[in-house]
Amino acid sequence: MEKDFLILAGKKFSSRLLVGTGKYKSLEETAAAIKESGAEIVTMAVRRANIVKPGEPLLEDFISPKNYTFLPNSAGCYTAEEAVRTLRLAREMSGRSLVKLEIIGDRETLYPDMVETLKAAEILVKDGFSVMAYCSDDPVMAKRLEETGSAAVMPLAAPIGSGLGILNPLNLKIIIESSKIPVLVDAGIGTASDAAIAMEMGCDGVLLNTAIASAKNPVLMARAMKLAVESGRLAYLAGRMEKSAMAVPSSPVVGKITG
């Protein structure tokens, strides 16, 4: 089989698993888990990055930008204005135009504010950014984001950090089938089987953080997620067997020996 790349903003990636960098016990654990995950894209919340505390360790001290594509993330923003300003600052500091747009609309559920997200996406795309947009699992909103020129849509599977898995597979399937840009599940993945299911449905990738960082053994879970994404993708490409309401024998029923 030819190499199966994930293509984002014209760049090829071998891994379809994207990982975050928050919630780990230490930067050493962060680095070990990310390495084991096989991920090539690592998200970084710009508003939580250490850029003003000299002497304290930096994420880049443990995870080299030479080995990973850092994806600046507007996590913690609640308006389009905040998100645009944050991601412009990130580009000024890093030169990176591929960004994850995230605008929260509710502090309890952490659901995205889609009105503000659409507004910010339009501004950022016109400003030369390649936008990967965190969004609700609403097919209409996902299509609107695609129409802004966004590089990818990232519908939630369940609320951020909940670990509930894919709660609305029907909507997710509609988004996948109607999108002409990559669809990556973002938020709500709890364990390896959730990631595998998302990939078997036809998602182009999975972005997760808490499922690894909050596991009892994050490094081992990172490995499990890597294998889950790979196996789910292979199953999707292979095409599953048709379901049947009745048993279908696996042995031939013609030419069998009779008494």
User: For residue range 38-52, what is the model confidence (pLDDT) as tens digits?
Assistant: 999 999 887 555 444
pLDDT in tens, 112-143: 999 999 999 999 999 999 999 999 999 999 99
Pairing of strands 130-135, 152-155: parallel
Q: Using the 8-state DSSP alphabet, how is residue 107 labeled?
A: T
Pairing of strands 6-8, 11-13: antiparallel
Residue 243 DSSP symbol? P
* 96 or 33, greater pLDDT: 33
State phi, psi for 34 to the nearest 5 degrees. Answer: -65, -40
Q: How far out from the chain centre does Cα 65 lie?
A: 19
* Dihedral sign of CA atoms 81, 98, 62, 31 in order: positive
Residue 48: predicted pLDDT: 57
Which tokens in the block code for residue 110? 């952490």
Residue 243 identity: K
Known catalytic residues are: 100
Within 8 A by CB and 6+ apart from 77, the residues are 47, 83, 86, 102, 103, 104
What is the pTM (predicted TM-score) of this model?
Answer: 0.89
Q: Which two tokens stand for residue 64?
A: 């080299």
Report the C-alpha gap between 227 and 187 in whole angstroms: 19
What would the two tokens of residue 66 be? 């030479």
